[in-house]
Amino acid sequence: MSQATQTEGAAKPARPNEFNLVWLDMEMTGLDPDNDRIIEVAVVVTDPELNIIAEGPVFAIHQSDETLDKMDNWNKGTHGKSGLIDRVKASTVTEAQAETELIAFLKQYVPNNKSPMCGNSICQDRRFMARGMPKLEAFFHYRNLDVSTLKELCRRWKPELASGFKKHQKHTALADIVESIEELRYYREHFIKL
């Protein structure tokens, strides 16, 4: 995979499992899908109990200097500090190439249209995906498993628990996914009565 960071994952499963969960995160040049662009995307597959089965490739998506120059100061600072801007400039991967490789990876672990899109504030990623990676967006079930919903409910119903999970705020796609999985584990243990 060109310009992708391949992460370690488990061996290919015997067959895809419809109950596996696909976690996704993107970094973008801003928050407006009509004007901003995807600059990084990663996926992780877990089983229903939130155990990581496989980490997919992490793609830095090439964008022009003109596009990167339009970023606001927060994005320039955050993505500059993480090294993402340099990775984006060095990358030759397009949104279409990343989309194709991510779908091929995911098909090994979950059937088409079975996994909800999992993550934090995942509707934002879905909006960008609908524009920039529509085939990948269509691979997911129409439902979302959004950890930020539990975060907001916890803040309102059990505020004493809300401060118990601390984010590292790395703002890289893979780190954000792993953090979202850990955050859902926290809410499952401390907030949701099973």
Q: Which residues are catalytic?
A: 142
Instruction: Please name the residue ranges forming H helices in 48-157.
Output: 65-69, 73-81, 84-90, 95-106, 122-132, 134-139, 147-157
Orientation of helix 173-190 relative to helix 147-157, angle to 10°: 40
Alpha-carbon gap, residue 194 to 82, rounded angstroms: 38
DSSP element (H, E) containing 185: helix 173-190
- Sequence-distant (6+) residues with CB within 8 A of 40 are 26, 27, 58, 59, 60, 61, 84, 87, 88, 172, 173
Half-sphere exposure of 23 (CA within 13 A, CB side): 28
Q: Which residue has the tokens 């976690």?
A: 23
Radius of gyration from C-alpha coordinates of the chain? 17
Contact 45, 52 (CB under 8 A): yes
